[in-house]
Amino acid sequence: MDNCLFCRIMKGEIPSAKVYENDYVYAFRDINPQAPVHVLVIPKKHFSSLNDTAAADDRDLAECLRAIPVIAAQEKLETGYRVVSNCGPDACQSVQHLHFHILGGAQMSEKMS
C-alpha cells in the first residue's frame, strides 16, 4: 500500500524509533505516547484492521502476538502492560494499517473505554 503511513514507516521511507523487527513484524514507538511506554506493533503485510484479516496467513497474525511479550520484556514491563487494537470509527482507529498498541510503565485505570 503505497500511501499507507505505517507501510511507509515499516519500509523506512518515514523515520521511526524502531524497538523490534523480524521477517513478519515491525514495532516502533508511538509519536504521541499515552503511557511511559507506548509501542506500536504492526504486521509487515498490509491489513487495514482486524476486520481485514479473514484471509490472512496465520503466521502474519501470530507473529504480531508473539512479538508482544518479547517487546514487553525488552521494555522491562515486568509488572504488566495493556494491549489495544482499535478497529473502526467507534474505536477511533486513525491509521488504517492493523496495529497493536503496547501500553505500560505505569499503573493503569481499570476503566478501558
Binding site for Zn ion (CB under 5 A): 1, 4, 6-7, 46, 97
* Element spanning 58, H or E: helix 58-74
- Supply the minimum distance, in Å, between the C-beta of residue 69 and ligand 5GP: 20
Residue 34 vs 78, nearer CB to ligand 5GP: 34
Span interacting with ligand 5GP, options 22-30, 51-59, 66-74, 104-112, rule CB under 6 A: 22-30
93 binding ligand 5GP? (CB under 6 A): yes
18-37 as b/e, with b when 16 or more CB fall inside 10 Å? ebbeeebbbbbebeeeebeb
With CB cut-offs between 5 and 8 Å by kind, which of ligand 5GP, Zn ion, none does residue 63 bind? none
- Residues in 31-70 at the binding interface with ligand 5GP, rule: CB under 6 A: 31-32, 40
The phi-psi region of residue 52 (left if phi > 0; otherwise alpha if psi is between -120 and 50; otherwise beta) is alpha
Q: Which residues on neighbouring strands pair with residue 103, listed in sequence order?
A: 38, 82
